[in-house]
Structure 1
Amino acid sequence: MQETVVVTEADSREGRSVATALLQDGGFKLTAALKDLSGPDAVQLQTAGADTILQDPRNLSSLEAALSVAQKCVVITTTDFQDPDPLKREIWQGYWLADSCKKQNVGHVIFLGQHHVHRKYGFPARHMDAKASINDYMTEIKLPKTEIISPFYFENFLYTFKPIAAGHDVYKLALPMGDTALDGISLAQIGSIVASVLKNPHCWIGKSCSLSADRLLLHEYAATLSQLLHPKQFQDARVSVRSFVGSYRGPGARDLGNMFEFWKKGSQRMNRAMTAELCPELQTFHMWVSENKEQLRRALEDA
């Protein structure tokens, strides 16, 4: 008999990865909670066989009803840097989900968490601090939980941290990592890792899994891109955190800068061996670029 799994924020980047993997696995009955039931994500999931429900913070009754018949839940929370208080809002959502899972006796909760940044170093990275606080609360109320902590996503080079054009066929990677190696993984593989954990709860409940598929210096990321996307050439822009924060165009610049500062201080501590155990088909950065060359070229053309 298939176990029912609720995936929250199933129309987020992580949520789509998880929902897709669970449907492809075929061993689960998926209930996907989305912010928009008329969008393309909802239609795609419905077509693939998922039940979909609305995740509306103003009316969470449908989500609580779904949890009442679920055996497992994948809790994903996202940070809205446009909110007046993104930290407080995300923590509230996470606490509510934790309390609901506890109330409905959900047998296994997977939470996509993060490290404490402000508590450790005194500077905020609200998208990480919120998740760390939610994980602490889940532990406090004794949820049967597995925490999954993700590093930098390779896909960020397609979107959030796209290489910057610096001349004809020359691009700069403007991540403020200095001489510290950066752990990374493909977002597309998060879903299969979650599926592996869900299928082996006796091995993973009570554990925290810090993921990594590769660990490279920024100039090594650049060299891989140069090799596989020739004649385009990529270089480490050698930017400071201050310069990154000043030039980043999106919301949450200070938080993202502090995230890199946290990683630079050697606080990643990710586990590649554990990740490979959970995902035998794990892709290194070289493998990921090889598989996504055309998508990368299109992203650079749109830069």
Structure 2
Amino acid sequence: MASPKVVVVFGATGRQGGSVARALVKDGQFTVRAITRHGDSEKAKELEKEGCDVVVADLDDKPSVVEAMRGAYGVFLVTNYWEDMDEEREFIEGKNAVDAAIECGIEHLVYSGLEDAKELCGYSVPCFDGKGRVEEYIRSCGLPYTIVRLSFYMGNVFNYFVPKKQEDGSFHLEIPMEGHPLYMVCVREVGPIIVCIFGDPGEYAGRTLGLSSEQLTVDEMAQQMTECLGVEVNNGNVPLSEFCKLNIPGIDVYCAMFKYFQSDLYKRDIELTRKLNPEWSTFREWLARNKEALLAAMNQ
């Protein structure tokens, strides 16, 4: 009996890569080679216990990436703009991985990309555009590929978008969408979709898939939070122009991103997403699972 094919998973200690690595192990069709820069980290040790082969490599170091891919069938690649907020570095890291995949004869590359917003709408969205450049490079190389594009993470309401407590005890959800609906995903559930893609390359190779479990306005999000959390949450109705005045790291990038989120050019395919993973959580289901932790974050 032939040994299971090897899939190399980059970003394996992060949310996306970790979800993919665990889903592939659970599925059992593939052996998972989990890539990290820090093989002695607790997250890396957890992956090892769960059945992954943990390998140390760095996307800034192409020779280490080539060694990590040798003998593998497929690669799941995710690049991280937010690590140092450098679009050019993100592109170079992605290019290093693609070049290594070609050198190693990888039969299927799945890249977690995003569209080149500058090309589409004429203004730069750095956290998108570097990934968009990697996408174009992948398409130009003749390497068998599938590109997946995620949308706004539900978990973002734990950080910059945690509802803010008001003097009357209610909360304001301040996401600057100005009435436009927002595509959303639970990023920790992307793994089963990637399993489907690797399991059926004939169906998904050469395609770019925009993923979202649902699309809600901030009013709808606030209403569901009120119902699920048992506290009053209202839309803070923050205009994008006011949001852009906040003194937080990366605010210019966030402003460009939400401008793009509001445009008609930003599209995701909810029907296809549900086909690939019928169990991907709605916002209401995600809230129910994370109720206590979210309430704690809101009341800090």
- Does TM, scored on the shorter chain, surpass 0.5? yes
1:149: Cα distance to partner?
A: 0.5
| Aligned position for 2:234 | 235
Paired residues of 2:8 and 2:76 also in contact (CA < 8 A): yes
Distance in 2, Cα, partners of 1:90 & 1:129: 10
1:114: Cα distance to partner?
A: 0.5
| Aligned position for 1:196 | 196
Distance in 2, Cα, partners of 1:189 & 1:57: 24
| Aligned position for 2:253 | 255
Q: What is the root-mean-square deviation in Å for CA atoms of aligned residues?
A: 1.6
Secondary structure in 2 aligned to 1:69? coil
Residues 160-199 of structure 1: CA deviation (Å, up to 9, x unaligned): 4222222354221111101110011111211111111111
Give the 3 Å change call, closer, same or farther, for CA 3–169 of structure 1 in structure 2: farther
Secondary structure in 1 aligned to 2:123? coil
| Aligned position for 2:102 | 102
Letter matched to residue 291 of structure 2: K
Paired residues of 1:81 and 1:252 also in contact (CA < 8 A): no
| Aligned position for 1:34 | 36
Secondary structure in 2 aligned to 1:247? coil
Distance in 2, Cα, partners of 1:169 & 1:64: 55
Distance in 2, Cα, partners of 1:212 & 1:248: 30
Secondary structure in 2 aligned to 1:220? helix
Secondary structure in 2 aligned to 1:36? coil
Give the 3 Å change call, closer, same or farther, for CA 283–57 of structure 1 in structure 2: closer
**Is residue 42 of structure 2 the alignment partner of residue 44 of structure 1?**
no
Give the 3 Å change call, closer, same or farther, for CA 252–116 of structure 1 in structure 2: same
Q: Which runs of 5+ in 1 are unaligned?
A: none
Letter matched to residue 64 of structure 1: V
Paired residues of 2:59 and 2:94 also in contact (CA < 8 A): no
Give the 3 Å change call, closer, same or farther, for CA 301–24 of structure 1 in structure 2: farther
Paired residues of 1:180 and 1:266 also in contact (CA < 8 A): no
Distance in 1, Cα, partners of 2:64 & 2:49: 21
Within 5 Å, give how 1:1-303 maps onto structure 2: 1-57=3-59, 59-80=61-82, 82=84, 86-230=86-230, 232-247=231-246, 249=248, 251-302=249-300
Secondary structure in 1 aligned to 2:8? strand
Residues 51-104 of structure 1: CA deviation (Å, up to 9, x unaligned): 112233454433211212110000100014645xx0110000001111111111
Paired residues of 2:244 and 2:252 also in contact (CA < 8 A): yes
Aligned length: 298
Q: Which runs of 5+ in 2 are unaligned?
A: none
Distance in 2, Cα, partners of 1:243 & 1:281: 37
Letter matched to residue 177 of structure 1: M
Letter matched to residue 117 of structure 1: A
Paired residues of 1:53 and 1:63 also in contact (CA < 8 A): no
Letter matched to residue 99 of structure 1: D
